Amino acid sequence: MTRTERIAALEAAAKERILVFDGSWGVLIQNKGLVEEDYRGARFTDFPGQMKGNNDILCLTRPDIIADIHNAYFAAGADISETNTFCGTTIAQDDYELDAQAVWDINLEGARIGRKVADEWTAKEPHKPRFLAGSIGPLNKMLSMSPDVNDPGARAVTFDEVYETYRHQVAALYEGGVDMYVIETITDTLNCKAAIKAIRDLEAEGQERLPIWISGTITDRSGRTLSGQTVEAFWNSVRHARPFAIGFNCALGADLMRPHIADLARQSDCLVSAHPNAGLPNEMGTYDETPEQTAAHIGKWARDGLLNIVGGCCGTTPAHIEAIAKAVEGVAPRVPAETKHTLRLAGLEPFEVA
């Protein structure tokens, strides 16, 4: 299928059923027991500093592992798998002193690996086409918050710098063949806006318009993002992008995420997604929630009419995704809310002019 045909198939599938996303990548990579040489490969043999821990670089040095993870999630029932490019920006990769060409190659090859695996599954099971989302993760520098507690106005990065790093990533993901972009684990809405602008500007310059999926993060029981926004304020801040889907992932387990997903479902006029962690981390930093426990929560949300896309984040595995897929099988997808034609503004709190 061409990319245009795949997007049409994605939109058609979303009307017919609840779509299933993949789960954690980090936990599967960690379980491989990789060593420094795996991360370096032939290309980075003499590179200074430590590479181990830079999971994105495996797109270049161990593409077999990345393909295996895509295959595992598609076999578990996922409709959508994401590229292994969560930290695939020049700003994030500066921690490893990688240059712009290496970062471009991470995104390009990450997309090519996922594209090949998705197409192979679609060829085997044409009744259930598989799709590839280009993963655009958060940065280690924020536009909305100061890195210095003694200087609230200080910033480690400018909007233009954030825009350029996302534009670089988006262009490479597009060339590699993704079907959509997922701007995920959003802690800073202004960073997200820079990513949205990068995508829309590239479209204005000739790239095909791809669906944008926006997934924020509620960081604690306050019900706010790290940059301080409530659920509704966050939605009002990004709805101008006319996203394919809006949702939340990470930070919380499913039991704590439900009220925030319900809030989105009540007001958003696009698809709603949820890919929570497998509970909260234990004292050792690992996750104890079983596939059955996670799936029970998400299945209930689906039956209550809250969801269009489901999946997992930290601590989830193909077994979790398989259980989630079974829990939502045959459940009708949520019907998007009707748009109210009012002026809606957002800072930390929403504001509506009737």
Tokens of 124: 């085997």
Question: Is 314 part of any known ligand binding site?
Answer: yes
Residue 252 to residues 52, 260, 293, Cα–Cα distance (Å):
27, 10, 14
Nearest residue to 232 via CA among 257, 274, 286, 268: 268
Whole-angstrom Cα distance, residue 234 to residue 198? 19
Q: Is 192 annotated as a binding residue?
A: no
Burial of 56 (0-12, 13-18, 19+ CB in 10 A): buried
Q: How far is CA 220 from CA 9, 252, 262, 274, in A?
A: 36, 7, 16, 16
Cα angle 144, 51, 132; round to 5: 65
β 271-277/245-253 pair status = parallel
Question: Which residues does the annotation place in the binding site for Zn(2+)?
Answer: 250, 313-314
Question: Which residues does the annotation place in the binding site?
Answer: 250, 313-314
